[in-house]
Each structure stands twice: as structure tokens, then as C-alpha cells.
């Protein structure tokens, strides 16, 4: 059975920056494989196109440029806001505004999004709304562990059940 749309795919992979020798970003080695339903929009399209047609046991190694992964870094997504918008009861909670901290935010329409604290001044804070991996060229290497049909419940939920997926 080969990887094609609506198959459940389990892979072990290591993600590094730019090349196979680049800095490691994450790896499933030593843990559960990554499980996903192929072709339903869960994954980066270029990630899927590089796995299409592979079968269990096949290995892979390919790069994806930032523009085709999480996007180029966008300077305009670095936004300065007044520090006092983070006050509750007139005080900024201890440790809230630390560089690198990811803050869950809600806009006036009630949409949830995340911003990373990039800079903290006396009265203002710079939040970075870029994806943490924006501007990073990705390199994936690994091996296909399993390819199987997705069951109807998995297709309905849009995710994998059992190994490499949701346990519920």
C-alpha cells in the first residue's frame, strides 16, 4: 500500500534547519511516530508531495524553503503595543512579559491568536505575530512506519486514532 489521499500515514522524522546537518528543531525518534491523514490539509503541502507514493519502510530526505513552509519572516508582523494592555487590576502579572514568552491573545472580535514577546521596554512591548518557524528553511529526513486506510471515524474527525494520533 502506498501513500495517497485518505491513507493514514505514520512516519518517524527528524526536522532540521536548512540541511540534514542543520540544527535539530524536532524529532519523533525515541517517541511515538507522527500520524496524519494524507491529503486532508493537515500538513504542509510540500511535505505531503514529497511522501506521495512511498510505502512502509521507505526512507525520505527533502528540504522545504521557508516560503513554502511557515512563510517568510514578515517585519510588519512585529507590533509595538502599550505595556498597560497586559495589566490586570492595575498590575502586570509577574513573569508575563518576558522575551520569548508566547502569549495567548484575543482580539475585539473574540478571535484567539498568539504573539511572542520580542522586546520589553519601559512602557511598550513588541509582540511578534510571525509563526515561530517563519523564515526558517526546513529539512525533513526519516522513514515511513506504516500506511493504512483511514477508517470512517478518522475521516470524520480529521485526525488519526491510536498510535501516532489521538487517544479518545
- Kindly indicate which of the ranges 36-44, 65-73, 81-89, 156-164 contains the residues binding Zn ion, using the contact rule CB under 5 A: 156-164
Site for Zn ion in 49-68 (CB under 5 A): none
User: How many residues in the chain?
Assistant: 168
Stretch that binds Zn ion, among 39-47, 63-71, 141-149, 159-167 (CB under 5 A): 159-167
Contact segment (CB under 5 A) with Zn ion among 16-24, 36-44, 74-82, 155-163 equals 155-163
How far apart are CB 56 and Zn ion at their closest, in Å? 23
Q: Which of 52, 46, 57 is nearest to 11 (CA)?
A: 57
Chain position whose Cβ is nearest to Zn ion: 157
User: How far, in Å, CA of 69 to CA of 146, rounded?
Assistant: 24
Q: What's the min distance (Å) between Cβ of 155 and Zn ion?
A: 10
Contact between 157 and Zn ion per CB under 5 A: yes
Of the two residues 10 and 15, which places its CB atom closer to Zn ion in the complex?
A: 10
Residue 101 vs 166, nearer CB to Zn ion: 166
Interface with Zn ion (CB under 5 A) = 157, 166
Amino acid at each position: 500500500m502506498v501513500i495517497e489521499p485518505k491513507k493514514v500515514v505514520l512516519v518517524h522524522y527528524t526536522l532540521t534547519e536548512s540541511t540534514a546537518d542543520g540544527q535539530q528543531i524536532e524529532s519523533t525518534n525515541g517517541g511515538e511516530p507522527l500520524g496524519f491523514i494524507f491529503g486532508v490539509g493537515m500538513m504542509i503541502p510540500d511535505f505531503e508531495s514529497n511522501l506521495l507514493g512511498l510505502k512502509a519502510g521507505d526512507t525520505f530526505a527533502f528540504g522545504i524553503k521557508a516560503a513554502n513552509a511557515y512563510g517568510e519572516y514578515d517585519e510588519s508582523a512585529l507590533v509595538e503595543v502599550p505595556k498597560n494592555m497586559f495589566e490586570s487590576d492595575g498590575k502586570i502579572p509577574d513573569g508575563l512579559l518576558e522575551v520569548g514568552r508566547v502569549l495567548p491573545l484575543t482580539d475585539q472580535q473574540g478571535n484567539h491568536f498568539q504573539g511572542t514577546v520580542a522586546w520589553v521596554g519601559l512602557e511598550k512591548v513588541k509582540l511578534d505575530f510571525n509563526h515561530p518557524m517563519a523564515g526558517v528553511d526546513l529539512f525533513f529526513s526519516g522513514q515511513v512506519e506504516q500506511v493504512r486506510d483511514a477508517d470512517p471515524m478518522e475521516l470524520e474527525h480529521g485526525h488519526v486514532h491510536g498510535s501516532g494520533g489521538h487517544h479518545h
